[in-house]
Structure 1
């Protein structure tokens, strides 16, 4: 198949485009012929996963911590992708996993991650989850006073080890967040931890902060360091803080992103659909992934004369983080086969063999914007500019993968493949559904290291 839309060979657009950043690993898979074979063998849409990218992203984050002289530990936010291969990577590389359910916790343990390398987040955790977390020695981010009471009760009712805790702080700048405790509740929680004695190990504080701005995260990290110092006066251990996730990913370059935002309007979408620019994920970030972590560590919190890194070192506080999307940057893509083509005025409407729920931005009144690659079945497909929107194989009028009219450089035909790049972070799993009894797209782990041709296996997710 001929690959169209790959980096380095941009189309001649008459409509806004958003090309993905070049990724040699993905491009090597696309050029190998493997995608066509997998589409035939699996008989429907599928995701392919690139575990080497996960390792590289983890190594980069660890290097950022080391270069700043900061003690830190990285937990992978499992909610970002259900595939077992990421947990296998964490077990092999000594990273942790952030879980929020009994199922996620069991999956992590079953694939080799030690209990003490798990952090349990999420609100209002159930009894079964708390009991399992305590027994396995996992760190628990306590979100409320009643949850703290439930943890203490779990220990007192026969668990043989103390509960390891972080107390989650309600961000002052996001007072309506449903996550975390306010100042009065935190003070009460610390007192209850003191009263609980050996039943708990209060190891520090955490927060859940929406958005990707560096300064608010730096300010809140400094506040948590101050809370650790106050907690130590009470006799609590308080030696760690967790800043959660929030490390952005850049899917495209700055110029492409700004041009797209400036040009796009309702006329560029099927049925005149309109989107607010504010609802789009920020598909470009000046500092992304490990570079965003470096920027955070170098930032100077408001009211402090030191950087975040210096505050952590001087106070002897370890930095914990729970990235998901940032660890999965360029770690996979999603493949659909075109099974129908309709001509509309000035563009085509493609129907593929899957649903929009395989790309989860629709959950946020948005859509996944990076341009898909067109793998033409026939090398003689007409070249030019061929705008097309992409619909799904269901009976719902609104089931559209891409409302935008994408200017493909070849005419899409039935049997061609569409490959949406860089979808491993949240796109594959947040909204998937077997509507119409359609099978969920399987995940394929691709190994292309030092091989003339990639090899593959199905992911080993338990469910």
Structure 2
């Protein structure tokens, strides 16, 4: 049997041949042999490239596409993405080093995030990357560091808008936030930047992430463009950089449907001529992380035991929340829901059962699948967790209980 639709798994971007999931053109069983041990994350180059191509085909000409490395900082994956996108956003000195090592031009790297250390700011100024300042403290430090090094810092100010991305999985703007400088404070802060001798290139305005609603993204972009034009009147130089964030989400749970990019792209095509008329030198940047890499990855763990407790089947695996906190439901879910999960080497099996997939940790929170209908599995079968290309290993408490680290492969 050969099919592109898994029998006992949600529709994914990975084919199924003879009942086995294929990633990077390889059966997962063979890939597991090549890796040498489980658990591991596998990221598919073709799926990554196809997603970037899809986004580029939708975006209007002139809009620059950046990869937000916080979604997945694996060096080999970042190097692959660096050849496909126009820039990379980083959120620490460690991520900055990975981006530079990946070959991205320094001026195309932006460094955002609250609480940057003096060492990180100096590292960024010396490297010649854009620093997205998030406080008056950072502006004062940038002026001092620039004077000490004899280098003019590339400064963009992150703005906390007075609106949010409605229905987003994580709201990053609107209300009181630790991110950016409140929009109403910007005239005063821009005057301070002038006093400090800083040339502010533009603004980073990001209101939320993980939205599946095109209309909400369109509304946020409309408000972002209006706010940027309003704030640009307080700049001493023309606005040259406008990072409008992203917010594009991917479906994880039953009932969720993929984001329709078509209306978002149509809105951008309609809006950009007006934006360019008002801000003729502005380079508009869309910054995406999860949307570019989330569906390109699977987390693979092996069944090491099978037990039945009072009628409930438990598949105990060698991996769990210490490698994949999000799949366990402990990375922002209010009500726990199952990520899409499959028995990767038994996808054509007609023998199914309701089972829970649990990890090896001494906590009931170590739950990868709660009472899901799955093919009957036994010791040494492989469990695959889909939608695992973003906020996986690097967003998980790997040191908890001192189990071995999970590996990562790009195939």
TM range (shorter): 0.7 to 0.9
Q: How far apart are residue 184 of structure 1 and its match?
A: 4.1
Q: How far apart are residue 7 of structure 1 and its match?
A: 6.2
Indicate which of 96, 100, 116 corresponds to 1:125.
Answer: 116
Cα separation, partners in 2 of 1:63 and 1:314, compared to 1, 3 Å = farther
Stretches of structure 1 lacking an aligned partner (at least 5 in a row): 12-17, 259-282, 299-306, 447-463
Tell whether the 8 Å contact from 1:47 to 1:442 is kept in structure 2 after alignment.
yes
* Structure 2 residue 337 is the aligned partner of structure 1 residue 374: no
* Structure 2 residue 200 is the aligned partner of structure 1 residue 196: no
Question: Which SS does the other structure have where 1:87 is aligned?
Answer: helix
* Structure 2 residue 277 is the aligned partner of structure 1 residue 314: yes
The equivalent residue for 1:429 is: 394
The equivalent residue for 2:134 is: 143
RMSD: 2.9
Cα separation, partners in 2 of 1:7 and 1:422, compared to 1, 3 Å = farther
Tell whether the 8 Å contact from 1:371 to 1:406 is kept in structure 2 after alignment.
no
Q: How far apart are residue 42 of structure 1 and its match?
A: 2.4
Cα separation, partners in 2 of 1:106 and 1:341, compared to 1, 3 Å = same
* Structure 2 residue 26 is the aligned partner of structure 1 residue 50: no
* Structure 2 residue 67 is the aligned partner of structure 1 residue 79: no
Tell whether the 8 Å contact from 1:61 to 1:293 is kept in structure 2 after alignment.
no
Count the aligned residue pairs.
387
| Partner Cα distance (1:208, 1:428) in 2 | 25
Question: Which SS does the other structure have where 1:330 is aligned?
Answer: helix
Cα separation, partners in 2 of 1:186 and 1:105, compared to 1, 3 Å = same
Cα separation, partners in 2 of 1:400 and 1:193, compared to 1, 3 Å = same
| Partner Cα distance (2:392, 2:51) in 1 | 18
* Structure 2 residue 397 is the aligned partner of structure 1 residue 420: no
Tell whether the 8 Å contact from 1:145 to 1:185 is kept in structure 2 after alignment.
no
Runs of 4+ in structure 1 deviating by more than 6 angstroms, as ranges, are none
Indicate which of 343, 366, 384 corresponds to 1:399.
Answer: 366
Stretches of structure 2 lacking an aligned partner (at least 5 in a row): 164-173
Question: Which SS does the other structure have where 1:119 is aligned?
Answer: strand
| TM-score w.r.t. length of structure 1 | 0.76
| Partner Cα distance (1:75, 1:180) in 2 | 19
| TM-score w.r.t. length of structure 2 | 0.84
Q: How far apart are residue 165 of structure 1 and its match?
A: 1.4
Q: How far apart are residue 21 of structure 1 and its match?
A: 3.6
Say which structure, 1 or 2, has more relative contact order (CA 8 Å, 6+ apart): 1
Question: Which SS does the other structure have where 1:422 is aligned?
Answer: coil
The equivalent residue for 1:302 is: none
Question: Which SS does the other structure have where 1:62 is aligned?
Answer: helix
Cα separation, partners in 2 of 1:228 and 1:73, compared to 1, 3 Å = farther
* Structure 2 residue 236 is the aligned partner of structure 1 residue 235: yes
* Structure 2 residue 243 is the aligned partner of structure 1 residue 245: no
| Partner Cα distance (1:40, 1:91) in 2 | 26
Cα separation, partners in 2 of 1:372 and 1:184, compared to 1, 3 Å = closer
Tell whether the 8 Å contact from 2:314 to 2:358 is kept in structure 1 after alignment.
yes
| Larger helix fraction of residues | 1
Indicate which of 267, 275, 294 corresponds to 2:265.
Answer: 294
| Partner Cα distance (1:73, 1:9) in 2 | 35
Q: How far apart are residue 31 of structure 1 and its match?
A: 8.0
Indicate which of 341, 344, 355 corresponds to 1:388.
Answer: 355
Q: How far apart are residue 99 of structure 1 and its match?
A: 0.8
* Structure 2 residue 217 is the aligned partner of structure 1 residue 214: yes
Q: How far apart are residue 284 of structure 1 and its match?
A: 2.5
